[in-house]
Amino acid sequence: MHPDLDPQPRGLTRLLRELPAESAPPYGYSEFERRARERARGARSLAGGRRLAVAAVIGVGGLALLVRLSGPVPLANHAHNVGTSAAAPPALGPDDEALPPRAGAGERWLASLPSEPAVVHVGTRAAVVGLEDRIAQLDDLLTAARGARAAPARLAALQQERSRLLGTLVQVRYAETLANETP
């Protein structure tokens, strides 16, 4: 097959070719088949393990991607979640004036808060005090209007204004609460 490229004593080739060969296979055909089945089973379980590992990696990657794409949780949602767990108020939107029951819930939540927070934020404190004063004034006006049997439209307007201020106050106080809880 090959040309004699290497000037090599032919005696070595002859000696190598005369080396004794195996006289029998290391094991019989049935043993060979048994080992083949065993290896195939091992290869299948290895492939199964690999598939599981790949699925796990894809799952974790997908989850990480989902978390990454969803970004930071919006304050309103977070506030809602925290508020739910701490018997907090429902988030109040701009149309809360038309929902007196929700305003009532906000009022109850406000009542459950300590009158003075543990940490006072000067910026929010002024707003809170201002809102509380205006709500108190509206309460007085409402009482007076009810006593004077004022027109229902006037009472509804006062009530609406009170609900709006109350919603604002709830949002400010809740933001203040969150700021205090955040390390």
Partner 1 sequence: MTRLAEIAVPRELLTRACAGDAPARQALYVALAPATLTLIRRMVGQRALSEDLFQDTMMTFYERLPQFRHEAPLGAWLRQIAISRCLMYLRSPWKRARMCLEPVDCGVAAEVAALITPGYAGEHIDLERALASLAPTARAIVWMYEVEGYSHQEIAHAFGRSVSFSKTQLSRAHARLRACLEPQEHPPSCTLI
39 sits near partner 1 (criterion: CB under 8 A): yes
114 sits near partner 1 (criterion: CB under 8 A): no
Classify residue 27 by burial, with Cβ atoms within 10 Å: 0-12, 13-18, 19+. Answer: exposed
Q: Taking Cα atoms as reference points, which of 134, 91, 81, 83 lies closest to residue 113? A: 83
87 sits near partner 1 (criterion: CB under 8 A): no
- Applying CB under 8 A, among 16, 98, 111, 153 the residue interacting with partner 1 is 16
44 sits near partner 1 (criterion: CB under 8 A): no
35 sits near partner 1 (criterion: CB under 8 A): yes
Look at the chain and count its residues: 183
In angstroms, give the least distance from the CB of 40 to partner 1: 8
* 182, 122 contact by CB (below 8 A): no
15 sits near partner 1 (criterion: CB under 8 A): yes
What separation in angstroms does the CA of 172 have from each of 1, 93, 139, 160? Answer: 94, 13, 20, 19
3 sits near partner 1 (criterion: CB under 8 A): yes
* 85, 110 contact by CB (below 8 A): no
**Separation between Cα atoms, residue 77 and residue 4, nearest integer Å:** 85
Segment near partner 1 (CB under 8 A); pick from 18-26, 81-89, 105-113, 168-176: 18-26
Instruction: Report residue 33 as tokens.
Output: 């088949």
66 sits near partner 1 (criterion: CB under 8 A): no
In angstroms, give the least distance from the CB of 47 to partner 1: 16
Which residues in this chain contact partner 1 in the complex, by CB under 8 A?
1-3, 5-6, 8-9, 12-13, 15-26, 29, 32, 35-36, 39
